[in-house]
């Protein structure tokens, strides 16, 4: 499967007063990992939401995290994100955070997302639909791309 990697430096604003990462930041970074993965796959999430009046993106419907050990102010973590599996209207993205040369994760998590569209009968309501044409193929390519800026 396509894999996106990116590095994040733990900044002071990511930490509690003791300089230890505040865990909700991992969820923000996982969201970034999913969006980066879609982008490097060639699936223009932003463009598609602007060009398709019914498409509303890939809303998150479930997530989880497991924390192994903390990160601290100044640490650099490597996030690795890839699709683990596809359902009919959903897909699961797995994320792993490592630090330094240690291959063991400091944290890992997953997200379940759906392809979200407006319900034609109730435009304010979202409904899950099958993946757009080509999306599965784009996310199934065997390569790793570093998207760190």
Burial 9-19 (b: 16+ CB within 10 A, else e): ebeeebbeeee
Using the structure block, give the residue that is written with the tokens 């630090």.
99
Domain residues of the chain, as ranges? 3-141
The pLDDT profile of the chain, 149 residues, written as one tens digit per residue, is 899 999 999 999 999 999 999 999 999 999 999 999 999 999 888 888 888 888 999 999 999 999 999 999 999 999 999 999 999 999 999 999 999 889 999 999 999 999 999 998 998 899 999 998 789 999 999 999 999 98
**Cα dihedral 102/105/107/110 (nearest 10):** 150
Structure-token pair, residue 94:
């797995």
The fold of 3-141 is: Thiol Ester Dehydrase; Chain A (3.10.129)
DSSP classification of residue 87: -
Q: Would you state the pLDDT for residue 70? A: 95
Q: Would you state the pLDDT for residue 52? A: 87
* SS3 label, residue 53: coil
Using the structure block, give the residue that is written with the tokens 């640490």.
75
């Amino acid at each position: 499967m396509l894999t996106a990697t990116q590095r994040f430096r733990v900044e002071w604003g990511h930490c509690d007063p003791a300089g230890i990462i505040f865990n909700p930041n991992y969820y923000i970074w996982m969201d970034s990992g999913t969006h980066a993965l879609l982008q490097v796959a060639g699936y223009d999430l932003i463009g598609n939401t602007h060009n398709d009046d019914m498409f509303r993106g890939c809303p998150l419907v479930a997530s989880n995290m497991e924390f192994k050990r903390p990160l601290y102010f100044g640490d650099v973590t490597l996030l690795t994100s890839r699709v683990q599996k596809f359902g009919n209207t959903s897909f699961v993205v797995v994320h792993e955070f490592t630090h330094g040369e240690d291959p063991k994760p400091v944290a890992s998590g997953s997200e379940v997302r759906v392809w979200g569209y407006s319900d034609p009968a109730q435009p304010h309501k979202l409904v899950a639909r099958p993946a757009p044409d080509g999306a599965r193929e784009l996310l199934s390519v065997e390569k790793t791309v570093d998207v760190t800026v």
